[in-house]
């Protein structure tokens, strides 16, 4: 589940982020905004399930943000944080589609329970879809030497820690081994089919800039060097 935090007190957003990370590692904090305009900009860039916003912020307050945010993402759930003096005023937020109000200072356990009630019922299906999306992304970008777990986790809209655990659970492989195996499989096909392509060029085509490192990884995965593999396949043709 993706959560966006908006509060001009950075200690508040940092504290909330730490609590979510500690108690709900599968939930992803897509951003921490110091005002409504910054939060709205993040909403244009990321899918968000729950927006948690303070009611009083510079540039754009929480009520205006809630109204605009729901217009941008109609399925968005909004929780507004408010002080006692503002509580009656904040109740008008319900007309904008705000789902809940929470008094400051925030009790983290209460906020997490509130978010759990708003969590989509099809969470399992969402995570299945996220992993399938991640696999498609890996298959399209495996040739990039800079491909990383963090990059793919961001694409899947999951925290890196939770994505790593979920990926292993769904595929049976650690992320790095999955990517390595995919690269080596493609390298094997190129070695078999393209005798005119140099070995270092094949390494580069599957994401390895350093030929020596490519050979080491290939030997570890296949049991022989790329050169030996090519010679063996040529003999069996």
Residue 207 confidence (pLDDT) above 60? yes
The Cα–Cα gap between 158 and 25 comes to 9
Q: Show the tokens assigned to 186.
A: 């493609």
Q: Show the tokens assigned to 29.
A: 């904090």
Q: Give residue 87's pLDDT band: very low, low, confident or very high (50, 70, 90).
A: low
The fold of the 2-118 domain, in CATH, is Rossmann fold (3.40.50)
User: Average pLDDT, stretch 148-173?
Assistant: 87
Check the CA dihedral 108-110-111-113 and report its sign: positive
Q: Which CATH number does 177-235 carry?
A: 1.10.10.60
Q: Which of 96, 63, 101, 68 is nearest to 82 (CA)?
A: 101
Residue 94 confidence (pLDDT) above 90? no
CA angle at 165 for the pair 160 and 169, rounded to the nearest 5°: 140
State the burial class of residue 161 (Cβ atoms within 10 Å of its Cβ: 0-12, 13-18, 19+): middle
Q: Show the tokens assigned to 12.
A: 């508040």
Higher pLDDT, 40 or 94: 40
Name 133's bridge partners: none
User: Average pLDDT, stretch 70-85?
Assistant: 81
User: Average pLDDT, stretch 146-172?
Assistant: 87
Check the CA dihedral 88-90-96-102 and report its sign: negative
Q: What is the pLDDT of residue 31?
A: 93
Tell me what percent of the residues of the chain surpass a pLDDT of 70: 92
28 CB contacts (<8 Å, ≥6 apart)?
1, 2, 3, 157, 158, 159, 162
Higher pLDDT, 140 or 85: 140
Q: Of the given ranges (34-38, 93-97, 164-168), which has the lowest mean pLDDT?
A: 93-97
């Amino acid at each position: 589940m993706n959560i966006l935090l908006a509060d001009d007190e950075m200690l508040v957003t940092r504290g909330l982020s730490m609590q979510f990370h500690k108690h709900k590692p599968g939930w992803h904090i897509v951003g921490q905004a110091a005002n409504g305009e910054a939060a709205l900009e993040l909403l244009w860039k990321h899918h968000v399930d729950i927006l948690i916003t303070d009611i009083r912020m510079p540039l754009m307050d929480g009520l205006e943000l809630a109204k605009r945010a729901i217009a941008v993402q109609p399925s968005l759930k909004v929780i507004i944080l408010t002080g006692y003096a503002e509580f009656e005023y904040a109740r008008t937020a319900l007309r904008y589609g705000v789902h809940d109000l929470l008094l400051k200072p925030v009790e983290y356990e209460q906020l997490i329970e509130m978010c759990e009630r708003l969590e989509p019922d099809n969470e399992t299906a969402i995570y299945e879809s996220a992993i399938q999306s991640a696999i498609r992304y890996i298959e399209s970008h495996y040739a990039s030497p800079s491909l990383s777990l963090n990059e793919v986790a961001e694409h899947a809209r999951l925290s890196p820690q939770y994505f790593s655990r979920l990926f292993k659970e769904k595929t049976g492989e650690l992320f790095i081994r999955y990517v390595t195996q995919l690269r080596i499989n493609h390298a094997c096909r190129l070695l078999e089919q393209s005798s005119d392509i140099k070995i270092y060029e094949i390494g580069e085509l599957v994401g390895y800039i350093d030929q020596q490192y490519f050979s080491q990884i290939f030997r570890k995965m296949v049991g022989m060097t790329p050169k030996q593999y090519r010679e063996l396949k040529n003999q069996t043709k």
